[in-house]
Structure 1
Amino acid sequence: MPIYSYKCSACQYEKDVLQKMSDPVLEVCPECGQPTFGKQVTAAGFQLKGSGWYVTDFRNQGGGKPSDSGSSSSSTST
């Protein structure tokens, strides 16, 4: 489930809420009770760590790109 950041435009109260995507948007501020509670736009919070696809598939290890080495070997055979 995604975590949404909310902020009240009346009292500046902020809260992160764990919600399903199908849940209704919160509109009433739990702090002041005004209907001015709205979602904020935030960046995604994840990191790629470990020996993931980038290290194993796209790391340049002293040679050309994998597609370049395939095309150069076919041109040397002609």
Structure 2
Amino acid sequence: MPIYAFACQACGHSFDRLQKLSDADPTVCPACGAEQVQRQVTAPSFRLAGSGWYETDFKKDGDKKRNLAGDSAAAPAPAAAAAAPAPAAATAAGSAD
């Protein structure tokens, strides 16, 4: 279950609550009793870093890992990009004549 942060707009009291996604947010402040509680936007408690997602990070040392997010060598080129010539190549070919 996720932990949500809440703050009272009347008194400024902030508190956290462990609740299900389907549970209703609290409306009454536990400190002052006012009905001005709002959910706060907080940063996640984990960070995704690195060069991309791998097919699996638990392969044996001898197995090859494939980067699923940024491996441009393994990804096929789109048909439209392959059919249209690059502008730099067209300019270089035209200036060689």
Q: How would you bin the TM-score normalised by the shorter chain?
A: 0.5 to 0.7
5+ residue gaps, structure 2, are 58-64, 77-97
| Segments ≥4 residues shifted beyond 6 Å | none
SS at match of 1:32: coil
Aligned residues: CA RMSD: 3.0
- Which residue of structure 1 aligns with residue 91 of structure 2? none
Distance 1:43 1:57, change over 3 A: farther
Higher helix share: 1
SS at match of 2:7: strand
TM-score (norm 2): 0.52
- Which residue of structure 1 aligns with residue 41 of structure 2? 41
TM-score (norm 1): 0.62
Greater Rg over alpha carbons, structure: 2
Give aligned-pair identity as a percent.
Answer: 43
- Which residue of structure 2 aligns with residue 67 of structure 1? 74
**1:29 is aligned to 2:38:** no
- Which residue of structure 1 aligns with residue 17 of structure 2? 17
Structure number with greater CO (CA < 8 Å, separation at least 6) is 1
- Which residue of structure 2 aligns with residue 57 of structure 1? 66
Q: Give the CA deviation at 1:38.
A: 1.1
